[in-house]
Every structure is written in structure tokens, then in C-alpha cells.
Structure 1
Amino acid sequence: MSLRLSTVILPVDRWHEGGRAKWQRAEELGFHAAYTYDHLSWRTFRDGPWFGALPTLTAAATATDRLRLRLGTLVTSPNFRHPVTLAKELISLDDISGGRITLGIGAGGNGFDATALGQEAWTPRERADRFGEFVPLLDQLLTEGAVTEYGARYSAVEARNIPGCVQRPRLPFAVAATGPRGLKLAARHGQAWVTTGDPSLYEEGTPQESVEAIRGQVEKLGGACAEIGRDVAELEKILLTGFTPDRRRPLESVDEFVDFAGRHQELGITELVVHWPVPDSDFAVDQVVFEKIVTEAPAQLR
């Protein structure tokens, strides 16, 4: 199987001042998918422009060809979302895009989103508990026309979602998870699984240690699938790059990228996601080299 190459476009540009052009260029370059982060603000971009994910994807859906480029979040979390309202927005977005949406979804973290609504930041256990309710309820809301479900943290009362998604039985979930509870959710509800590698290795680890850590994650995903009698091969396995010890090195040349991609393809990774260049940031790479990688590397990875 060939390795799919996708990109994540940070929502930092006004739509008519460069935003639209990036999504259209992503389509022209032949990316499998273009994602964006679903945050209220994020890391070093907190005090600069940052636009909403779902409106941005709606605009991208109308600016790109419905036969060529998938679109999605990478990732959405419960930090400031509720399954009932999110389901309605996703069904609308899937319709507008012609059935091109993938929902990347994760448990969230302790970033700015975690307290923006005035709540205390959740503990890791609370995030896992919420994620464990959020994903199954969202799955139900996207596949059934009317849902009533009472949970400890999330409920739906006669929630209507007619006509449902264009994609059947619903749009695909790409579940970001590395812990046992999250991996079980990925196995049961995911059409794809997402990892960024092992964050503990980012500062001090080596590229080879990172590869071995991801190998272990893939094996644990296989174990979670086996527990429910599912073939792990049914799940796409997505690596969001930029958070491994390699940092930006894979985007320095075509050869560097092919080497990086090949090592992860051997682990079973089926889709690599690279950050669209953002000047004066952690994602500042040469645009010319970036586009050369996108156009030349895939042929070497088949």
C-alpha cells in the first residue's frame, strides 16, 4: 500500500488574505487530505490571528474540488465542544463538502482551550472519562435520526440529526490516542488512529527511540482491536509529524523525507501529515523545498 501524504493548515490567515490560497494550493499539490487544528487558540500563536476550525473547513469545502481533497480536524476535543451541537455542525459540513470530512478527535489537554470557558482544567482521569462518554454519544448522534441518552457528563434529549451524514453510516473518526482507554475507543469507534509519537522523547530522545515507541503504540492498538475481534488492518494509521525528535529535519530535503517516511511506513503508518509552512514559527520551512517534497516523494514511497 502506498503511503498517503496530507497536510495540516493552521487557521492563522484571513480567508481573503492568503487563507483560501493555501487550501487551494494543497489541492493542486495532490495532498490526500488537508486538516486544521480545532482550538480556540494554540501555543505560541495565542496572541496572534487564529480562526475557527469548522467555519474554516466550510470555506475550504466550497473553495476546493469535492473529488480531490479530503478535509478534517486534527483534532477536535471535548475541551469546548458538546456532542449534540458538534454533531449538527459536522452533518452540515459533511453535506457542504460532498462527503469529504474526517473528524480527528482526541481527549484534549491542558492548553488554553481547557480553561477558556471558565472551568478548572480537568485532570487526566477526568479528560479520559469525558472522552469515553463523548465519542460513543457523538457516534450515536451521527448515525441515528433521533437520540435520547443520559450520561454523567454529556446528554442528548430527543436530539434530531436528519438527514444524517452524506458518508454512511457516518463520517469517519480518526481517534488520537496512546493510552489504554483511548486505544479501546479507537478500536471500537475509529476508522483511523492518530499519533504524534511519544511526547516524552521530543526533547531528549533519538529518532530511533521514537520509531520504537511508535512501534509499541501500533502493537497496543492491535491488542485493543483483538480484544473486540476487530482486524487492526481496518484502521488507517496516521502520524502527525513535527512532534518527534526529528523535528523539522524530514522537511529539509526530499531524501530526508523519504527516509523518515519509509521508516514509519514499515511500522504500519498509512498516512503522514506535515504542517504547512508558517514563517517565524516552529513550522517555518522553505516553501519551495516543501512543495518539492510533496510532488516528488510519494513516487519513491510506493
Structure 2
Amino acid sequence: MRLSTVILPIHRWAEGQKIWRQAEDLGFHASYTYDHLAWRTFRDGPWFGAIPTLTAAAAATRSMRLGTLVTSPNFRHPVTLAKDLITLDDVSDGRITLGIGAGGNGFDATTLRGSDEEPWTPRERADHFDEFVPLLDRLLSEPSVTHEGRFYNANEARNIPGCVQRPRLPFAVAATGPRGMRLAARHGQAWVTTGDPKLFEDGTAEQSVAAIGGQISRLGAACEEAGRDVAGLDKILLSGFTPGSPLRSFDAFVDFAGTHFELGFTEIVVHWPEPDSVFALDAEVFERIATEALSQLS
């Protein structure tokens, strides 16, 4: 199992670069950031762009993987996103993972839409995602792409020289529904979940484990349908959205990680501590988790 972190893009780079370097020094496998225009309780404070932040982080670090967790079609177009990602993969010398999901309503989901337009329904989000992921796959893998679709067009979109990572940088597809699971099975090198959102506030840890186990079973069925072995797909748990407080202590996190390792997860992602926020955490506990927790699972 690998341990990674999410660093929110809320710090001016003079301070932010120190955090990304510290994450590498602590030994995290990867550091991700959220790709939003604004997010939840942070929406009225500083919030910087994901791609420029990751580009700067690529220059400030040496070997740690970097990525989004996650990018969505809410305000991205596959053609321009592909160009940015190819550049980012080059700057990082092939250390980028694209976390990608269908997105949700609220926060920045309607920023680019008219004030009288309704947010996309879940079906509409899934429809966009169904076209977005395969087209982005092609754009990152082929030197020239033409596509006329329901939502997106590409007219001889050139992406030369392509990604450093071949045939393209890896996709970590966030999905819990059947359509997203099928996309993960067909296009993903990893699958991402935050657990069952219906259980976050009122559920129990046991119910959460059972629900996530069900998600993995459905992922297995989607992989079988796609003619793929689910064991070859990395499984990433973004923590912080399941019942309980697994980061309240070192021992609590070891138990949490061990339980999800037994479910088949290959990577757990924890949020970098941010004081006076939902991600507040004792720095000493966090550093011990980063440096010692996984050794307790062997």
C-alpha cells in the first residue's frame, strides 16, 4: 500500500512550495491537489489554479508523483486540458497522474453558466463524463484528433510530442455509479472513491466498509465486462469523507489503513493539515502517520 496527500491550492507560492517539498521529504508517494475554481468552506479565501500549482510543484520537487484529485468536466474542455496536461507531464518528467471525475453540483459547478441556467442533473453530468474521458484518452495518446460529439468537438487537434509517459499519463477515475465504473474499467489505470457519501454524517465505520466493499465488487463486474482483471487496476481511497476520525491518532489511522488494505486498496490519500478548517490535525500525529504508519501493515 502507498500513502499520499492532498495539498489544497490555498497558499501563495512563497509558502506553498515549502509544503510540497516537505511532502516529498516525508516520503509521500504522491501529492495531489483539487481542481476547482472554488471549494466549500474555502470559497471566500485564497484558491489558486490546479495546473499552474502542479507545474510549480513539479519544478520544486524531484521524484514524488503529482496530480489532480479530481478534475471534472464542470469547467474543463478536453482539448485545452490535454494540451496543459502534456506540458505538465513534460515539466515533471513523467510524474503526473490525472484524477478525473464527473463532478458535482454546488461551489464552482455553475461558474461558467448563465445565472438563469440550472445545474446539470446527475444524468447530464454522467453524459458529459461519458464523452469527456474517451476523448481525453485519445487526445493524450494520438498526435491528431478529430471528433464531433454531443458536447465536445475537436478539429484536427494536435498534441505533439505527446506525453512523456506512454502511451499517455495514467488516469485515476473517480466513480461509484455503473457508468463511471465502466469508464474506470476501460480507461483507468486506477479507480478512486471517497466512500459512500450517504453514510458520512450518520453512518458507522462498519457500514462504510461494507458499502466500499460493494463498490469494489461492482468495479470487478465492470472490469470483467471490459475483459480486464480488476487486480490490475490500482484502488485509491481519498480519506476524510467516511464516518469516524481515522486521523485522530496514529493507532486509529493504522487500523483504518489496515481495514482498507484488506479490502484491496493500494493507496490511501490524506489531507495536508490546515489549521482552523475541517482538515485541522496535530502536526506531530500527521508526520508520524506519514513516516511510520505503512510499516505497521507489513
Unaligned runs of 5+ in 1: none
Aligned-pair distance for 1:261? 0.3
Query: Which of 234, 248, 251 pairs up with 2:232?
Result: 234
Gaps of 5+ in 2: none
Deviation at 1:298, TM superposition (A): 1.4
Q: 1:164 and 1:35 mapped to 2: Cα distance?
A: 22
Specify which of 88, 108, 114 is matched with residue 113 of structure 1: 108
State whether structure 2 residue 267 is matched by structure 1 residue 274. Answer: no
State the partner residue of 1:141. Answer: 139
2:85 corresponds, among 66, 83, 90, to 90
Query: Scaled by the length of structure 1, what TM-score is found?
Result: 0.97
Q: Which residue of 2 aligns with 1:51?
A: 48
Which of residues 274, 285, 288 is equivalent to 2:284? 288
Secondary structure at the counterpart of residue 139 of structure 2: helix
**Which of these residues, 100, 103, 123, is aligned with residue 98 of structure 2?**
103
The alpha-carbon deviation at position 287 of structure 1 amounts to 1.0
State the AA in 2 paired with 1:170: R
2:61 is the counterpart of 1:64: yes
- What per-residue deviation string (whole Å, max 9, x for no partner) do you get for residues 31-85 of structure 1? 00000000000000000000000000000000000xx200000000000000000
**Match in the other structure for 1:186:** 184
Aligned residue for 1:265, secondary structure, equals helix
Q: Of the candidates 25, 30, 42, which is equivalent to residue 27 of structure 2?
A: 30
Per the TM alignment, residue 228 of structure 1 is displaced from its structure 2 partner at its CA by 1.4
Give the superposition deviation at 1:112: 2.1
Structure-2 residue corresponding to 1:74? 69
Structure 1 residue 204 displacement after superposition: 0.7
SS of the equivalent of 2:220 reads helix
Which amino acid counterpart does residue 42 of structure 1 have in structure 2? W
Partners of 2:226 and 2:8 lie apart in 1 by 36
C-alpha offsets along residues 7-33 of structure 1, whole Å, 9 cap, x if unaligned? 0000011001x2001100000000000
- What SS does the corresponding residue of 1:138 show, helix, strand or coil? helix
Give runs of ≥4 in structure 1 deviating > 4 Å: none
Distance 2:50 2:195 in 1: 24
Distance 1:7 1:111 in 2: 24
Amino acid at match of 1:274: V
Q: Aligned to 1:242, what secondary structure does the other structure show? A: coil
Distance in 1 (alpha carbons) for counterparts of 2:239 and 2:251:
16
Superposed CA deviations along residues 135-186 of structure 1, whole A, max 9, x for unmatched, are 0000000000000011000111000000000000000000000000000000
**Aligned partner of 1:152: which letter?**
R
Alignment of structure 1 residues 291-302 onto 2, 5 Å: 291-302=287-298
Which whole-Å CA distance do the structure 2 matches of 1:165 and 1:301 have between them?
35
Q: How big is each residue's C-alpha offset from its partner over 1:81-140, in whole Å with a ceiling of 9 and x where there is no partner? A: 000000000000000000000000000000222110124310111000000000000000
Aligned length: 295
Task: State the Cα distance separating 1:288 from its structure 2 match.
Answer: 1.3
Work out the CA distance in 1 between the residues paired with 2:135 and 2:180: 15
Q: Residue 93 of structure 1: SS of its match in structure 2?
A: helix
String of CA shifts for 1:181-235, please: whole Å, max 9, x gaps.
0000000000000000000001110000000000000000000000011000111
Secondary structure in 2 matching 1:288? helix
Q: How much has 1:251 moved relative to structure 2?
A: 1.3
Whole-Å Cα distance in 1 between the matches of residues 106 and 279 of structure 2?
Answer: 19
Identity of aligned residues (%): 74
Distance in 1 between residues matched to 2:33 and 2:105, nearest whole Å:
19
